[in-house]
Structures are given as structure tokens and as C-alpha cells.
């Protein structure tokens, strides 16, 4: 499957840049991610009630990817030392021979590549996670209503990448390579 990219308008880019109200930001992220997932849906499914859409595995995965993309832009807009952000799914196994679907997993897993790690960025990500989790729990889905946390953003430094430490090794994975969702410049 070819990597998906979102077409983000200038209006959308500026919506995430100045983070004046975290609540407004998370509402915008959720709305844009839902709109993105609906835009990829075919036929009459686009008009289905949101509760039904969120149970559809393809719609849900598209929603998660759009969500990850918009969250990545928000994190990068907050911290000038963010160099790249990658989306990864630890449950993805391209060698799986099963014909059964795995249960939907709501976690948004990101690798945030920075020049150097800071407590300020970690604090912002934790606050963003709390706000996103509170917002997404309002969607009509029993799976989302019980979430304690939606965002798993792992900060890795360029030094971690150079030395192949921790989650940085995923960037060179042959089997489950993360998708870059936000590059600086």
C-alpha cells in the first residue's frame, strides 16, 4: 500500500501553529481527522452515523492516521527543536497469515525526532494527551469512552538515532517501518 499523505491547506497549517487554546486545538484536530477519514470513505458509507463509522476498521484506521498527522503538526508547531514526526503501528505484522481482524486499537503512536530532549516538550505532549483523550472520549464509541490515554508520543533524539538506541531502531525497521507524517522544512 502506498503511503498516504494529507493535503493540508494554509488555513489548516495556521490553525495548529499558534496554540492559544488547547481545547480549541484538540477540537480542530478531531474534526479535521474525522473529515479526512470521511473523505476517503466510498459511497453511502460517508453518510453513515459516526458511531457506525467508528466501528468500521478502514474508517477507523484512516481516522487514526489523520489524527496522527494533525497531532504531529501541533507538536512540531509548539517546539522548534522537533525535526520529524513518524507514525507507527506496533500491532502491524506484514507477515501475518491470519484472515481474522485484530481488534481496533485507539492508540496513536508517534516517534518525535528532536535535536535534544526537553522537559518542556514532554510536558506539552502530556497536556496534549490529556486534552485529546478527554475530547475523543466524547465520540459515540464504547471503545473510546473508556480510554485513559490516546497519545503515545515517544521522543527520540538525533543522538539516539545515531547510536541505534531505544525506539530509534524502528526508523530502520524492515518489517514495520514508521511513516513520516511531519518533516521540518
Per-residue pLDDT tens over the stretch 159-174: 999 999 999 999 988 8
Residue 166's nearest CA partner among 175, 182, 155 is: 155
Is the pLDDT confidence value at 153 over 80? yes
- Mean pLDDT for the stretch of residues 114-140: 96
- What confidence score (pLDDT) does residue 44 get? 76
Q: Where are the domains of the chain?
A: 19-92+105-183
Question: pTM surpassing 0.85?
Answer: no
Give yes or no for a contact between 106 and 149, defined as CB atoms under 8 angstroms apart.
no
Residue 88's pLDDT band (cuts 50, 70, 90): very high
Give the Cα-Cα-Cα angle 57, 88, 24 (nearest 5 degrees): 75
Give the Cα-Cα-Cα angle 150, 54, 78 (nearest 5 degrees): 35
Is the pLDDT confidence value at 154 over 90? yes
CA separation for the pair 125, 183 (Å, rounded): 18
Q: What kind of fold does domain 19-92+105-183 have according to CATH?
A: Tetracycline Repressor; domain 2 (1.10.357)
Amino acid at each position: 500500500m502506498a503511503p498516504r499523505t494529507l493535503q493540508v491547506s494554509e488555513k489548516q497549517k495556521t490553525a495548529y501553529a499558534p496554540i492559544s487554546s488547547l481545547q480549541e486545538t484538540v477540537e480542530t484536530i478531531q474534526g479535521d481527522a474525522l473529515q479526512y477519514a470521511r473523505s476517503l470513505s466510498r459511497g453511502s458509507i460517508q453518510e453513515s452515523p459516526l458511531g457506525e463509522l467508528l466501528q468500521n476498521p478502514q474508517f477507523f484506521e484512516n481516522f487514526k492516521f489523520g489524527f496522527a498527522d494533525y497531532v504531529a503538526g501541533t507538536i512540531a508547531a509548539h517546539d522548534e527543536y522537533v525535526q520529524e514526526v513518524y507514525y507507527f503501528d506496533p500491532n502491524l505484522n506484514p507477515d501475518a497469515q491470519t484472515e481474522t481482524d485484530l481488534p481496533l486499537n485507539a492508540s496513536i503512536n508517534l516517534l518525535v525526532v528532536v535535536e535534544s530532549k526537553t522537559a518542556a516538550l514532554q510536558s506539552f505532549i502530556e497536556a496534549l494527551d490529556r486534552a485529546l483523550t478527554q475530547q475523543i472520549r466524547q465520540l459515540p464509541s464504547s471503545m473510546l469512552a473508556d480510554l485513559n490515554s490516546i497519545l503515545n508520543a515517544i521522543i527520540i533524539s538525533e543522538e539516539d538515532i545515531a547510536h541505534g538506541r531505544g525506539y530509534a531502531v524502528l526508523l530502520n525497521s524492515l518489517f514495520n517501518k514508521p511513516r513520516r507524517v511531519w518533516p521540518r522544512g
